[in-house]
Structure 1
Amino acid sequence: MGFLRSLFGLSAKPEGVVLALGGGGARGLAHIGVLEVLENAGVAVAGIAGTSAGAIIGAMWITHGSAAAVARRWREFLATGIVKGLPDVRLTPTVSTRDNPLLLFARRMRRSALVALALERTSVITHAELEKGLTFLLSDVTIESLRVKFAAVATDFETGEPVALRHGSLRAAVAASCAIPAIVPPYSFGGRHLTDGGTVADVPVAQARTLSPCPVVAVSVGEAWRPQDATGITLAEAMMRASNMTHKALRDAQLASADLVIAPDVGALHWSEFTRLDEAAAAGRAAAERVISRAQVLARCRPRRRQAEEPR
């Protein structure tokens, strides 16, 4: 059959999967564990669409070559002290949170609103601070030159539309995908003002579909949904809950169109705990190992049929 394909110029059926790596701050380190399991199982990756933390880890994996190399570079990054130098935007322990711009902003304002306003600041973290970290983590290359198809997913601040960045500077595209509203200023990219992709494409399944005809494996690292008693709920908690309801409904709709969903149990990690690499990666490995046989079947590009991981 290979001889006939060569003789008549027929292309072989593509193999592999396309990954949709979701956002979630430090919880996105679980992607490293997922990638490690895929590597060990021989599952080829035909493309990666990443949102926010998913864009960082996806881009690092493509440029550094392996999950082990990504983990090693991340440890070197932690040793630089760059993370410790960033402003503290953690909410109080009594308020459960995800990457929620409204409450992250509220926390920061509660601590230093008057100072920020007096200095006419437009953000908590500057472009320079974000780019300092990305410069250490990522090579200065173009997306077109990568060995694997890649898209960093951001949000058009003016239209509210998701934008898949597939051309130009890799660092700039990833930076735009990570620009959390009210935390990092929007980025100008290709004539648009772009912010964090997690606002409208927390797990970029639709964008992953545009990279390859291969099946899409979605990795969701968002905070797990938990029941909450409404008795005595505070104003901030009510606002948070309502925002999370909307976010969950959107994320669930995105995951419904994936061929396979991997959901690492990273609910115990706060989004800003970037030092907890080992725990996050272990959660990613455990979740991927539970469904790796299904991923191997999908990698042969069989007809698409969604398969979800067991609920957690």
Structure 2
Amino acid sequence: MKWALVLSGGGSKGAAHIGVIQALEEAKLRPSMVIGVSAGSFVASLYGTGYSSSEMLSITRKYHDHFLFDFDWRWAWHALLGLFYKICGKPSLSLWPRIPNGILRGRQFERLLERIWDQQCLDGTSPPVVITATDLVTGSSICFLPKGLSPLRPLPYRRFLYDVPIARAVRSSCGVPGVFQPLYMDSMALVDGAVRSNLPADIAQALGAEKVICVNLRNPDLPGHSTKNLIETMLRSLDILGYETDLRTLQEGADLVLEPSVTMSVFDFSQIDGAVQSGYKTTLSALPEIRRILESPKKKIVEKERPLSSNHLQAQIPSKPQIRFNGRKKPLA
């Protein structure tokens, strides 16, 4: 049975993915492929390049303090300059277009990622790793994948690329709009993969996965810390905005959804140990259902042509009865 593990974004909450992988490895359940979005791309890449769960946690602890040391101070300079002009009675809107398109440049983040993977590409990752980002120019999901893995059918607004360094792919997938500046590659302006889809189960199916298990860290119903600053407010808004899209994706493509109860804010790395434990316990409670799903026959996917602007074929997938696990004793239907 060919099955995919899809790891969503979630900032520091992504540490829960480490616990999920730990529980699956202990149960000797190894996915045929792992698809990572944003924070999920970081954990997926560590997993695919041979790091154990304890090593993943150690790396996360070691590097998290450095992720934000890359401010673009031009915004402060232009704000002060604008204030000066206003005081002098000479307001000028021409200053606003020069404000940078992200608080953090992301160069330091990419250098840190290169310390882990250097210029290594996704070829040879085991299990094969797929990373998604979003192109602001076309609105498409950009899928970085290893050679030997290719889509079985075309998908609208999806583009598949090979031979991209892991560090660059992860940097683009984690580029939260407004926080990180876009990563420019060829004619693309790449930002967080979750902007287009936080749980791309359709991509997993297009790559041949017969079963799809998703780990969802974006749930607006979970109680969390109140937003304390501009970044947290913006990220919380994106979570709420994207959740309806996630629900549609999950209904069409996911066989099982794991939802670890992680209530910390996306930049709160002081609680990553608790996030790992939440992911681990949630997966342990779901193991019987995971085994049942992986042993059950796959559903038939019928291809039908739709009047899409891209003239692609799109799979008509029947809605799947979902089991959702959030770490409680009983699964949520």
Give the TM-score category using the shorter length: 0.7 to 0.9
Q: What are the ranges of 5 or more consecutive residues in structure 1 without an aligned counterpart?
A: 1-14, 88-108, 228-236
Secondary structure at the counterpart of residue 144 of structure 1: coil
Q: What residue is the counterpart of 1:274 in the other structure? A: 269
Superposed CA deviations along residues 183-223 of structure 1, whole A, max 9, x for unmatched, are: 21222335422111111211121122233333110000114
Check if 1:32 corresponds to 2:18: yes
In structure 2, runs of 5+ residues without a counterpart are 83-94, 146-161, 224-231, 300-319, 325-330
1:144 Cα shift? Answer: 2.1
CA RMSD of aligned residues (A): 3.2
Partner-residue secondary structure (3-state), 1:85: coil
Flag the structure with higher strand content.
2
Structure 1 window deviating more from structure 2 (301-310 vs 50-59): it is 301-310
Structure 2 residue aligned with 1:160, among 139, 147, 150?
139
Q: Would the alpha carbon gap of residues 240 and 214 (structure 1) be closer, same or farther in structure 2, given more than 3 Å must change? A: closer
Going from structure 1 to structure 2, the CA distance change for 1:32 and 1:306 (only over 3 Å counts) comes to farther
Q: Which one has a larger percent helix, Structure 1 or Structure 2?
A: 1
The counterpart of 2:112, out of the listed 127, 133, 138, is 133
C-alpha distance in 1 between matches for 2:202 and 2:185 = 21
Identical amino acids, percent of aligned pairs: 22
Q: Report the equivalent of 1:255.
A: 250
Secondary structure of the residue aligned to 2:133 is: strand
CA contact (8 A) 2:174 2:193 kept: yes
CA contact (8 A) 2:41 2:170 kept: yes
* Counterpart Cα distance in 1 of 2:272 and 2:206: 30
1:1-312 map, 5 Å: 15=1, 17-78=3-64, 81-83=65-67, 85=69, 114-115=79-80, 120-166=99-145, 167-168=162-163, 169-189=165-185, 191-225=187-221, 245-256=240-251, 257-266=253-262, 268-300=263-295, 302-304=297-299, 306-309=321-324, 310-311=331-332
Deviation at residue 274 of structure 1 after TM alignment: 2.3
Asked whether the 8 Å contact 1:21–1:219 carries over to 2, the reply is yes
Deviation at 1:249, TM superposition (A): 0.7
Q: Is the 8 A contact 2:66 2:109 kept in 1?
A: no
- Relative to structure 1, the CA distance from residue 34 to residue 173 in structure 2 (aligned partners, 3 Å threshold; closer, same or farther) is same
SS in 2 for 1:74: helix
Matching residue's letter, 1:30: A
AA at the equivalent of 1:63: T
1:215/1:301 contact within 8 Å kept: no
The alignment of Structure 1 onto Structure 2 pairs a total of residues equal to 267
- Secondary structure, in 3 states, of the residue corresponding to 2:190? strand
1:170 CA drift (Å) = 1.3
CA shift in 2, pair 1:174/1:27, >3 Å: same
Q: Which has the higher contact order (CA 8 A, sep 6+)?
A: 1
Residue of structure 1 equivalent to 2:310: none
Q: Which amino acid aligns with 1:308?
A: I
Retained in 1: the 8 A contact 2:50–2:126?
no
CA distance in 2 between counterparts of 1:291 and 1:136 reads: 35
Checking the alignment, whether the CA contact within 8 Å between 1:153 and 1:164 is kept in structure 2 is yes
CA spacing shift, 1:238–1:276, aligned 2, 3 Å: closer
